[in-house]
């Protein structure tokens, strides 16, 4: 009977000395990746109106905006240094004004070049964890999740990307390697830059 209290006390001490962050599980890795500042940055689309080259006006993003009836263009003379001709004078249509109205900040409405948040990364799955001492590399998949109507048009959401990021065990638990010069594995910035579509 005397052994039961001492076993209980030892078990309590053991449980108190380990926190859930000491063990790099898929759930913890998922929570830390999702909470990472770099992972949470919204995708920005830079919309330009006014005179632009035919190459820019026929880019895939501008073709999507044209198909939705959000922008229109009229032939315009090319200013010096703007090539290749022909040039287009691009403006928002009434449908475009409705689509972009709530997405453009008040200060930007008079500008001809402004950014619009379109999508945010969504973690799909943790696909693997490789540990070596106090370092680990976590493979994960993610996709762009549209934030608005414009984001839904520009991002189908069906493309899934694969990335791998480094983790390091500190005295308070595991942390995602942030910054561009992380030691012990790819940083979150590098992981996202080097993402590859899953086939």
Say if CB 119 and CB 43 are below 8 A apart.
yes
Do 179 and 123 fall into the same domain?
Answer: yes
Do 35 and 123 fall into the same domain?
Answer: yes
Has residue 81 been placed in a domain? yes
Has residue 73 been placed in a domain? yes
Contacts of 179-187 spanning 24+ positions with Cβ under 8 A: 184/135, 185/135, 185/136, 185/137, 186/137, 187/38
Question: In the predicted model, what is the mean pLDDT of the chain?
Answer: 87
Say if CB 88 and CB 74 are below 8 A apart.
yes
Q: What is the pLDDT of residues 5-64, one digit of tens each?
A: 555 544 444 444 444 667 999 999 999 999 999 999 999 999 999 999 999 999 999 999
* Domain of 95, in residue numbers: 50-111
Do 127 and 158 fall into the same domain?
Answer: yes
- Give CA–CA dist 24/50, Å, rounded: 52
pLDDT at 114: 87
Has residue 17 been placed in a domain? no
| Rounded alpha-carbon distances, angstroms, from residue 133 to 36, 69, 129 | 22, 56, 13
Do 36 and 88 fall into the same domain?
Answer: no
Do 123 and 38 fall into the same domain?
Answer: yes
Buried b (16+ CB within 10 A) or exposed e, 73-90: beebebeeebeeeebbeb
- The yes-or-no verdict on residue 112 having pLDDT over 70 is yes
**Average pLDDT rounded to a whole number, residues 61-71:** 96
Do 63 and 92 fall into the same domain?
Answer: yes
Which residue in 33, 61, 14 sits closest to 138, CA to CA? 33
Do 27 and 57 fall into the same domain?
Answer: no
Q: Residue 113 — φ and ψ, nearest 5°?
A: -145, 115
Q: To which residue do tokens 């330009």 refer?
A: 48
Has residue 172 been placed in a domain? yes
What's the distance, Cα to Cα, between the start and end of the chain in Å? 61
Has residue 156 been placed in a domain? yes
Strands (E) in the chain, as ranges, are: 43-48, 50-53, 71-76, 87-92, 113-132, 135-146, 161-170, 173-176, 196-197
Q: What is the pLDDT of residues 74-107, one digit of tens each?
A: 999 999 988 778 999 999 999 999 999 888 877 7
DSSP count for the chain of H helices, then E strands = 7, 9
Q: What is the pLDDT of residues 171-196, one digit of tens each?
A: 999 999 987 555 667 899 999 999 99
Q: To which residue do tokens 């693997």 refer?
A: 128
Has residue 14 been placed in a domain? no
Do 34 and 104 fall into the same domain?
Answer: no
Do 107 and 125 fall into the same domain?
Answer: no
Q: How many distinct structural domains can be found in the chain?
A: 2
Looking only at Cα atoms, what is the longest distance across the chain?
95
Q: Residue 169 — φ and ψ, nearest 5°?
A: -90, 120
3-state secondary structure of 75: strand
> What tokens appear for 161 in the block?
């990307």
């Amino acid at each position: 009977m005397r052994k039961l209290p001492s076993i209980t006390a030892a078990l309590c001490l053991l449980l108190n000395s380990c926190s859930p962050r000491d063990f790099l599980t898929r759930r913890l890795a998922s929570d830390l990746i999702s909470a990472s500042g770099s992972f949470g940055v919204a995708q920005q689309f830079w919309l330009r109106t006014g005179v632009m080259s035919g190459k820019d006006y026929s880019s895939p993003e501008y073709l999507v905006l044209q198909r939705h009836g959000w922008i229109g263009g009229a032939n315009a003379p090319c200013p010096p240094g703007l090539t290749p001709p022909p040039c287009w004078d691009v403006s928002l249509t009434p449908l475009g004004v409705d689509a972009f109205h709530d997405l453009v900040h008040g200060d930007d409405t008079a500008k001809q070049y402004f950014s619009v948040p379109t999508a945010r990364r969504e973690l799909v799955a943790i696909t693997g964890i490789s540990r070596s001492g106090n370092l680990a590399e976590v493979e994960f998949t993610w996709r762009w999740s549209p934030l608005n109507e414009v984001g839904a048009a520009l991002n189908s959401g069906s493309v899934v990307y694969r990335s791998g990021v480094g983790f390091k065990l500190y005295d308070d638990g595991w942390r995602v390697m942030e910054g561009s010069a992380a030691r012990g594995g790819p940083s979150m910035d590098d992981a996202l830059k080097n993402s590859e579509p899953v086939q």
